[in-house]
């Protein structure tokens, strides 16, 4: 099994209660989130048991692919390297040690049920066979990792992110969490690290970074909606454990593109309208209708996922956390609150860091876009 992937899943299962609990190195660390439309980075340093924000930055990938800012790209590794080096320079990053997130949309997370009496030794042969049912490519082309989900739970703040304390419905089977990442993805990110001369011991899946930066001590089921540029990622998490993961093939960039096409304006102008007008019928009914069509599609798909979870576990979602750049669409929080009939909040990852007071309003506003990058950096300070 690939050691880098083993670190991906094991780091995602680390306990939040351990965060800053001991005086480890005070060296700075860099979190790198390479998305489909932009790169976000955050440099943190641990001091006196606290995470200090040293610098952060973002850069659009559109210009590196000869397209407009904010558009979805599919760049070659060399173009990603150029963009990453540029944002590192512009943000005055001072270190060469960091960790990169593996996009959830480039991986698979699922749960399989196996006989209750299966031994750990047999998992190595049984899991790949069962995983073939979920993986659309030859099993030899992916790297797998897995973790047994025990049936018992201990509701304590001290184990909020501890995978071994998962609560599962009464069953005679053994539930196993499986993670699969295409080998080409791992090779691509290793190449990027090498060409940028950045040092990293491992990668991490973005869902784990999101949980680390967005969650507090949430013991009841929480829906995390990550509105990316190309896709919207849905996760239902209980006691820090991912029970459900689903990708909706619609994201913020498509909404912007639809606005631009319908109104015959530039992508940049459409992006501004999406954020300032969004779902507000009073501001611009035409724009609001365009945005609503895509958002209703995403919410409808999400409702199906939530209903299936509630039916299986007999539990309701207690809160919804919005993250990702697309979550900043005006009116989305109100629409989501009306749809889910529960508390809806924005991710505020920078609240887990210390920064100058004058930056607070800016960090709160930009927080949803930097959830993954902050979570990556926080992981290194555990």
Per-residue pLDDT at 164: 33
CATH class of 106-182: alpha beta
Residues with Cβ within 8 Å of 217's Cβ and at least 6 positions away in sequence, in order, are 16, 157, 160
Under a CB-based contact definition with an 8 Å cutoff, are residues 279 and 334 in contact?
Answer: yes
Residue intervals of the chain classified under CATH 3.30.1490.300 are 106-182
The pTM score is: 0.84
User: Do 224 and 239 form a contact (C-beta atoms < 8 A)?
Assistant: no
Q: Is 90 exceeded by the pLDDT of residue 103?
A: no
For 102, residues 6+ apart whose C-beta sits below 8 A from its C-beta are: 8, 181, 185, 186, 189, 203, 204, 205, 206
Q: What is the pLDDT of residue 113?
A: 87
- Asked if the model's pLDDT at residue 20 lies above 80, the reply is no
Higher per-residue confidence, 223 vs 104: 223
* pLDDT band per the 50, 70, 90 thresholds, residue 150: low
Q: Does domain 222-346 sit in CATH 3.30.420.40? A: yes
Where do the CATH 3.30.420.40 domains begin and end in the chain?
A: 3-103+183-216+349-380, 222-346
The CATH number corresponding to 3-103+183-216+349-380 among 3.30.360.10, 3.90.700.10, 3.40.50.1400, 3.30.420.40 equals: 3.30.420.40
């Amino acid at each position: 099994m690939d050691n880098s992937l083993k670190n991906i899943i094991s780091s995602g299962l680390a306990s939040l209660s351990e965060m800053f609990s001991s005086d480890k190195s005070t060296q700075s660390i860099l979190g790198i989130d390479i998305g489909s439309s932009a790169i976000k980075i955050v440099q943190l340093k641990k001091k006196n048991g606290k995470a200090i924000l040293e610098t952060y930055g973002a850069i659009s990938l559109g210009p590196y692919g000869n397209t407009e800012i904010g558009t979805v790209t599919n760049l070659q590794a060399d173009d990603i390297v150029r963009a990453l080096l540029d944002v590192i320079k512009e943000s005055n990053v001072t270190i060469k040690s960091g960790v990169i997130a593996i996009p959830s949309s480039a991986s698979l997370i699922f749960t399989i049920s196996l006989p209750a009496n299966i031994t750990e030794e047999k998992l190595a042969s049984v899991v790949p066979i069962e995983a073939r049912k979920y993986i659309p490519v030859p099993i030899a082309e992916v790297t797998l990792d897995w973790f047994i989900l025990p049936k018992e739970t201990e509701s304590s703040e001290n184990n909020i992110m501890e995978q071994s304390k998962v609560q599962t419905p009464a069953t005679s089977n053994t539930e196993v969490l499986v993670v699969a990442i295409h080998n080409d993805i791992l090779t691509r990110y290793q190449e990027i690290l090498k060409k940028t001369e950045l040092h990293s011991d491992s990668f991490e899946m973005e869902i784990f970074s999101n949980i680390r930066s967005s969650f507090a001590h949430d013991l009841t089921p929480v829906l995390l909606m990550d509105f990316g540029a190309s896709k919207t990622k849905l996760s239902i998490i209980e006691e820090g454990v991912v029970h459900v993961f689903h990708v909706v093939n619609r994201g913020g960039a498509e909404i912007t593109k639809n606005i631009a096409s319908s109104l015959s304006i530039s992508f940049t102008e459409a992006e501004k309208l999406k954020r300032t007008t969004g779902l507000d019928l009073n501001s611009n009914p035409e724009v609001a209708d365009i945005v609503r069509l895509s958002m209703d599609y995403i919410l409808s798909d999400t409702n199906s996922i939530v209903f299936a979870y509630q039916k299986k576990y007999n539990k309701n979602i207690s809160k919804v956390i919005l993250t990702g750049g697309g979550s900043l669409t005006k009116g989305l929080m109100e629409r989501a609150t009306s749809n889910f009939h529960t508390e809806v909040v924005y991710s505020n990852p920078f609240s887990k860091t210390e920064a100058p007071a004058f930056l607070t309003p800016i960090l709160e506003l930009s927080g949803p876009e930097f959830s993954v990058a902050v979570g990556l950096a926080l992981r290194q300070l555990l």
